[in-house]
Each structure stands twice: as structure tokens, then as C-alpha cells.
Amino acid sequence: MRAPTATPIRHVEQCMGTVFSFDIRGSGIAWDDLRAVLDWLHETDARFSTYRSGSEINRLADGRLDLTEVHPDVAYVLSECAELQVETGGYFSACADGRLDPSGYVKGWAVNEASRMLAAAGSTAHCVNGGGDISCHGRPSVGRGWQVGIADPVHPGVIVRTVVGAGPLGIATSGTSQRGAHIIDPHTGTRQEALASVTVVTDDVVRADVLATAAVAMGEDGIVWLAGLTDVRSIVVRGDGSVSAAWRGQEPT
Amino acid sequence: MKRFALALFGTVGGLLALLGFKTHSPTSSGPLPDQGLAPTGMPTSTSRTDSGGTTTPSRSRSATHRATPPTVTTRHITGQAVTTRYGVVQVKVTVRGSKITDVGFVQLTAFDAQSQQINSYAAPQLLQETLATQSANIDTVSGATYTSDGYRQSLQSALDKAALR
């Protein structure tokens, strides 16, 4: 006997050092479905955290865990990081500052998985926002798209653009505003600060997150690089506050 | 390190081409070197390959450089081929001394629709992008990752509070 559905659901969960916001509008989701997603998020945090010495990632990095013993998710994430390192010409790396740290991949992936799990459980419309990385599914209401504000990296509480779209929609922003300059050019080991924030809009938040992180690592060159990628919309705020937006591919309808 | 990255680049690019994966960068589709993570021309390092896996019980080890006494050892360790919900993956890491310095993969076969979906990037159904800077009608906010503390001051927090009220 299936528990009755409880939508709409609005829920906020602290995990991975940030906050995940769940906005479930459609039908078909019970609290138990959401609880399963939250459990998975916390398990994933325990497995991948670079802040917990007992996590699989830290044990792997320190040689306390053999690669043959890792959880399948860890193997999957590391192989994906390797593939994305190629796509980004090395600007995205799970070893950007010399130690194994796939965090740049994990949060976007966790948002995407959470969204996918909800859809698999029967959700028809939801938005998962994990610390500013977003995956939207369906539409919030008939004839309406999700309205996503892009935060001003310099002025808290202000937005610089609004993106409106229906799922599948993946949006991620990387930058220096919230945690200080924390994105490193893996080729030189230097911190990049030319771009205050880079937002990438595509259909997959994992890819959006990685592309945004790589673009920040490239500095000014990242703007041109993103503009050359098909079906990727980018919104870049430079250190001086100027905004550029780019889109190549089929114009959105 | 640069040469190292290029070696990885060529290999994985070759593997991807071989497996028919879509890539979006100007990746080379050069020849497939043998287990190409091996950094060539590092005179003070020894190179060793460990293979662990259920299907191949044999362990192969090859010492390639023995010219000078090693100061730092570089090892390449290959994980077990594991079946994930996306396909079969086998990860390979390069360990220099006791630190992992690179991650690659030696096998990745996607076998279900989900993987196909992951590897094909369709245009998002983007309706419009506006210059609107009003937060009145927005559903959510994208920004650089906030900490739990940062969240409390964020617009997203205000939106969540308004909805939960």
C-alpha cells in the first residue's frame, strides 16, 4: 500500500556544507519518496566529503582505501571527472590543486540525482536547488516556465538576469563571491579572479556545473569558450560588474 | 605536468572516440597509446602497474625505469570494473609518492537509456532570458555555492521561507 501523496512539498535540507531546497509542485510524490532522496544525499556526503577523514574520497587520497574497494558511485564519479577533464581541456580536474577532490562534480551530480530520483518516483514538476545549482523538471504550472534568478555575485540579494524555462533545465553558477576565490587554473596552480561569476544554462545541471567551473578557471578566455559550445547559454559577470550573455545553437522557442 | 596532461588527453580522447562517446571539446582522436597515463621521460621515477579485477586475476608489473635510484615512485592503479546504474566503469589513478595526482578511466560502456541521455545534450526548453532584476516572481535563484551560513542571507532562503510560511 502506497503512502498518500503530499504534494506540493517545500523542504529545506542542510547537506554537503550547503543547503538543498526542494520545491515539488506536481503530483505523485509522498514524503517517503523525498525522505529516500534525503537519505541518499547524506550517504553521498559521507562517501565523498573531503572534510571527513573517514570518507571514501579521503581514504582513497591517503592510500587507506584501495580503488578496487570503492562504492560504485565513487568509481562512476571519478570516471566522469576524467571524461570531463578531457572535454574542458584540463580546466576541470578532480585533482585541480594536487589532491583528489571531486567536490566540483559531486554537488551538481547530487542535485541531478535527487531530481532524477523524484522524477522516477512519479513527480511531474519540481525544482531542486543545491547551494545555487539547479535542476528543474516539468513546469511549475500550466503555461508557465520556472523563473530562475541569477544572483548578482557582488551585491547580495540582487539578481542580474532572469532565465525562464521548462524542464529538463540545469543551471549552475560558479564564482568567487560566496567562498572567496576557490577556483584554481589546474595548468598553472593560480587562482582565477577575472570573472566574478559564470552561470551556465543547459539541460543537465552536472554539465552546467562543470562548464561553469572550467570557465571561471579559464578567466576571460572562458567567455569565448562557452560561447562556442552548442546549446549552452551562459551569463557571465566580470569582476567590474559588467554582464555578458551568450547562446549558440538552436534558438530557444 | 603539462606533458602528463597531454598524455591523458590523447588517451582518453582516443578511448572516447573508440567507444563512440560524444565530446564537445577540440579533442584529438589520435592513436591509442598503451595505457597512456604513463608519464614518459621522468628519469627519477619508477613506473609500476597494478591490475586488480575480478575478471583478470593475473597481476602484471612492469618496471620501466631502473636507471637511477628512485626518489619518487609513480604508480598506476587500476580499479575493478564495476557495474553502475549507468554502465560499466573502471577507474585508473596515478599515484606519485602517496598522493593521487591524476584520475582516468580505462573502460566505460554505457548500456541503458539513462546513460544515453546523459551523453546526449539536447537544447533546454528555454523560453526566454530577460533582463528582469525583480525578484517578485522568481521561483529559485542560481548563484555561487553558499555555505549554510551564507544561505541564511540569501534570496533563496527568503523564497523558501515565504513558501514555507
Q: Which domains are present in chain B?
A: 72-165 (3.90.1010.20)
Taking CB atoms and an 8 Å cutoff, what residues of chain A touch B128?
145, 163-164, 252
Q: How far is B106 from chain A (nearest CA, A)?
A: 9
Cβ–Cβ under 8 Å, residues A108 and A208: yes
- The β-bridge relationship of strands B72-78 and A126-130 is unpaired
Is the confidence at residue B46, as pLDDT, over 90? no
Q: Which residues of chain A have pLDDT under 70?
A: 1-6, 176-183, 192, 247-253
Taking CB atoms and an 8 Å cutoff, what residues of chain B touch A18?
145-148, 151
Report pTM.
0.70
Taking CB atoms and an 8 Å cutoff, what residues of chain B touch A10?
160, 163-164
Is the confidence at residue B79, as pLDDT, over 90? no
Residues in Cβ contact with A90 at an 8 Å cutoff, skipping those fewer than 6 apart? A186, A187, B5, B9
Q: Do B128 and A129 touch (CB under 8 A)?
A: no
ipTM over 0.95: no
Disruptive mutation site among A11, A25, A83 for chain B (greatest number of B CBs within 10 Å): A83
Disruptive mutation site among B78, B84, B94, B103 for chain A (greatest number of A CBs within 10 Å): B103
Give residue B2's pLDDT band: very low, low, confident or very high (50, 70, 90).
Answer: very low
Taking CB atoms and an 8 Å cutoff, what residues of chain B touch A199?
142
Taking CB atoms and an 8 Å cutoff, what residues of chain B touch A231?
121-124
Question: Which has more confidence, A213 or B84?
Answer: A213
Cα–Cα nearest to A195, from A141, A153, A246: A153
Disruptive mutation site among A147, A161, A206 for chain B (greatest number of B CBs within 10 Å): A147
Is the confidence at residue B108, as pLDDT, over 70? no
